[in-house]
Structure formats: C-alpha cells, structure tokens
Structure 1
Amino acid sequence: MTTSSASQSGRLDPGSGIASERRRLTNLAYRMLGSLADAEDVVQETYARWYGMSAERRAAVVSPGGWLTKAAGRICLDLLGSARARRERYVGEWLPEPLPDRTGLVGGRVGGAEGDAVDPADRVTMDESVHMAFLVVLESMTPAERVAFVLHDVFRYPFPEVAEIVGRSPAACRQLAASARRRVRTARRPAAAGHHDALVREFRRAWAAKDIGALVGLLDPGATSTPDSGGVVPAVLRPIVGREEVVRAFTAIRDLQPGIELLERTVNGQLGLVAQVDGVTVTVLAFDVADGGITHIWAMRNPEKLRAWTAA
C-alpha cells in the first residue's frame, strides 16, 4: 500500500476535522477483514489517499468522514477479494486475529441513519460483532456480502450509501445483506454472558487441576477445537472434533510444556484464556458456548497474530 508523510507518521491535520475518524475506520476495517494489522494498513492507505489529493479537492469534499468511509470500504472490498487466494495457500486453518481488551474497538455504535428496517431479533450489537464466533461466520461470506452486511447491519449505513461503496444497486446490496443475515442467523447460538464466563473459568480450573473428567464434562459432545499456527509453530493443521479428542489435545499441550500457564483475559469482547510461557503469550483461546457446554475453542498460535498481545 502507498503511504504519505502525514499518514506514515501518524500525524493528522487537526484542523481538517478527520483526525477523529481513525478509530471509527479501524472499527469498520477490522470487522470487514478480521485482522487488526490489515485494518490499520487500510486506515493508513485511506489517509494516504486523502492527503494525496490537492488542498483544493479536499476543501471541496462536503463530508470528509463519508469520503474516508467510502475509500476505506472500497480498499477492504479489494483486500477481501485477494485474501481468498492468500488463505488458500495458508498452512492449516486461518482464523481472525484475536483482539485484546481494547474498548475503543468494541463499544460505541457508529454509522448513518437507519433507512431500512431489520428485525430486532436479527440485529447485531457492536460488542457481538467483534466476538470470535461472529467473525468466523463473516469469513464464510463473499466479499460483497461481508462488506454490505457489516456496513448496514452493524454500522447502520443505509443501503444507498452501501451501494456507493460496493458498486452495486441499493436493491442488490439489500439482497447481499439479507443473504449474510441468514448465515448469521443459522450459526447463532446465543448464550448468557454469565454462562459463557462460568464455563471458561471452570475450563481453566479443571485444566490446571489436571481433572480430565471435569474437562470432558464442560464440553459439548460435538465440541471442536480449531488451531491456527500458520505453520510457524507446531500445531495440528485440522480442527479437532469430539470432546474426548479436544481434551486429549489440551492435556498433551500441558504435558509437553510443563511451564505453561493459562490466564483469564478478555478476547474479542468476551472472556477467554491466554497461554503464557515465562510471561510470553504463546496462544490465545476464544470460546463459543451453548446450553450443552463449550461448543468451540479457537486457538490462535501464529505469532504474527499475537503481536497485539505482547503488551496485553
């Protein structure tokens, strides 16, 4: 991506009225791409394009925030298209980059006025839209579906504005969002936050106590664990299915690394676990739960995706 001196140094002209847009654009791009590193690159490129225009052209822009959103959305759409090819070459399973407790990326609804009604039961909150289970569902969508859905259903941009970014008609964008909404509805298994947190805490306690029976009892019979190592560090390359198999894998990790420690941390807006060895984060675990227990554990081990956790 290209950069300008202003965007590369991170210094934005406070008088332009656009400096405050950075957090919103990062929110948007992270949900579209599932990668904080890529989201930050998108924001840099967006500002580079802004400052690449002449002062006269910038002054003529009626809504700088709208211009930046449109530019960022189009960059994300292009990146999502190329990302599919890159992920086909990725070693093992590709998972979204886990996010530490950054309230600026989790809370605060933003976006334009709502112009198209959505069933309240289908509405996605800003907090929910950053949960790992939700981001994994987004990965199953086409680039156009994902951009239209995130812009409209999450950030509440009306379809005429979405259409300008996606490059399709408002009616076509409405259909894209509806298709994406069906995917989310099918995958959604809402559980109370208290239930989720209790299961995660019990999992940590049972793992530390080497209580195999308790670990098995906390997992749904069809529980799955999906690791993401990118081939950079040792890990199985396929999802592990079945609670006994999942427990066997986690106990093997503890036996292979006796000094490993599991700590409770906020992962993508929910309680998760962080595995550390000598104070260094080596794995970030995100969980999905249902009434029957823990249904999915996502284990991010690729060091390139753990950079945000070095100071977390």
Structure 2
Amino acid sequence: MTAAPTGGQYHLRHAGPDGVVEAVVTEVAAGIRELRVAGFDLTEPFDVDQAPPGADGIVLVPWPNRVAGGTWELDGVTQQLDVSEPKYGNASHGLLRFAPYRTVSQTESSIEQEATVHPQHGWPFTLETRVHHELVDDGIRVTHTITNRSGVRAPFAVGAHPYLRAGDTPAEDLVVTLDAATAFSTNEQKVPDGSFDVTGTDSDLRGGRRAGDSDLDTAYTDIAADQDGVRRTTLHGPEGDGVELWQDESFPYVQVFTSRTFPRGDGTGLAVAVEPMTAPANALNSGEGLRWLEPDETWTGTWGIRRVWS
C-alpha cells in the first residue's frame, strides 16, 4: 500500500446545531486537508494521494512566506538558510513544511500535534511547536503554541496556508472582503520593499472585491478588529453564503493570494488562499512582527475558519 504524501490522516467529526462538521487533519505539516459544515466545503480539499497543492492547508513555522535570499543576520553573523524556493532564490514557508508531527492527544472532534524545529542550516535554535485543531459548531478553531528550548533567546513567526472555499461557488465568483488599510509592496523576489495605503488601489478589499477580477499575492496589516481583537476576512458567493477566516490579536497580518495554478480536474484554475500570519514575509530581516522568546518561554495564538450564512 502506498503511503499518503501527507502521512497519517486524522478524521474529525462534530455534530453541530446546523449540521455535522467534518475535517481531515494531516500528520505532515499539521495541515487541514478537508473541512466542511453540513456538506458545505470551507476549504479547498485535495486527494489523499496528493501532496498539498500550493502548500494547501499547511502550518508555516518558524516563519511564514519568504526570507530574501535565505539569509539573515544574527548578532552580526550572516545565517544561510537552505533555499527552498529556487525560482525566486528565497527560503520559503519555514522549516516544518515536510515534517511529520507527533500526536499528543485526540478526541472525536479534536487533535493536538507537536513537532520540534531543530538547529539546522541558518537556524541555530530549538523550538517546540504544538498545533491544536478543534471542531466547533460552525467550523474549526486552531491554536498554536511555541516554546523556546534553545537555552538562548530565539526569534519566530507563525502562519498557516488554507485556501478558502464557499461550497460549490466557483472561486471566480467569490467576493473577498477584508477591512485592512495598509498593504505591502514587493520586489521581483516577492519580498516586501515597502507599504502603502490601499485607498483607491486594486488592493483595497474593504468594500469587497470579486476574486476573478483580482490579482493578489498581498500581505495586509492595519486590519480593523472587534472589541476582542479579532480580525476577519470573508469570502461569499452571489447568494450570500460564504466562509470567514478569523484571527486573534496574536496574528496582526494576513496574506491574500489569488492563485491561478491550483489543480482543477485535468488542468488548473483559480483558488483563494487567506493566510493568517504573526509577521509578514522577510521578518527575520526586517524585524517587523518578529517575536523573540526567552529560554523556556511559551507563546500562544489562535485563528479559525467558520461558515457564514446570508
């Protein structure tokens, strides 16, 4: 029997008031392979015999997105990470993208997994990471925990890479809404080289923008939050039903990516990734959003995906 590229498959189920909530979480990269409420898909599923297309659903740690050239400086010494994105010459999506996680605990509706980031090329630290996926009445809640086991102060950032879906609505017809005032511009390496007020630009999603009319691979900040510090990105179809990604105050950034190379049947098509992040791309160099943990210090942050109704 051929092993799945994403390792073990953990099937979760929760009987909610609006129907059964189901998810499949993977051993490799602690990813979300499927998520639906009452048969209504909230994420782009992929087959068990596939690797996650376009990093679909995976956890990004100890940095999301890119590190320019794979290099950064630590106490005056240049660190060289492995270049995992040869097309642009960057280190991309952290160090656990292809790593298996260990199961800590599991119930019918939840699973907690852990993995260790060990010292390696360009990364002289040890971080213990945990990811807790829990189904709730309208979707899923994901909690990340990072503990520094290095013996010295250590940096990190965290992200996730789900592609959202609103049932059977074609991705082209989804309207993306995000109340964010600032976006990051990027250079030829897709690395931030500045920021700008989105007002009057094609990056302004505050009034909603049709995904099929958008060309985005854009990080946002200055995102409006509710009284609990929660920030929200919604995708909805013409009838109003949709999906929302929410992130707590620990995740002040989000990347919106309209990929036109997502596998669709025998070809490719549009899919929309909404990626909660604690820091934007290249944080190891810019320092923006980068967090530092003292030895044995722990950080926790939470985000989730939920179904929304018209």
Q: TM-score range by the shorter chain?
A: under 0.3
State TM-score, norm by structure 1. Answer: 0.27
Larger radius of gyration: 1
Q: Normalized against structure 2, the TM-score is what?
A: 0.27
> More helix by proportion, 1 or 2?
1
- Choose between structure 1 and 2: higher strand proportion: 2
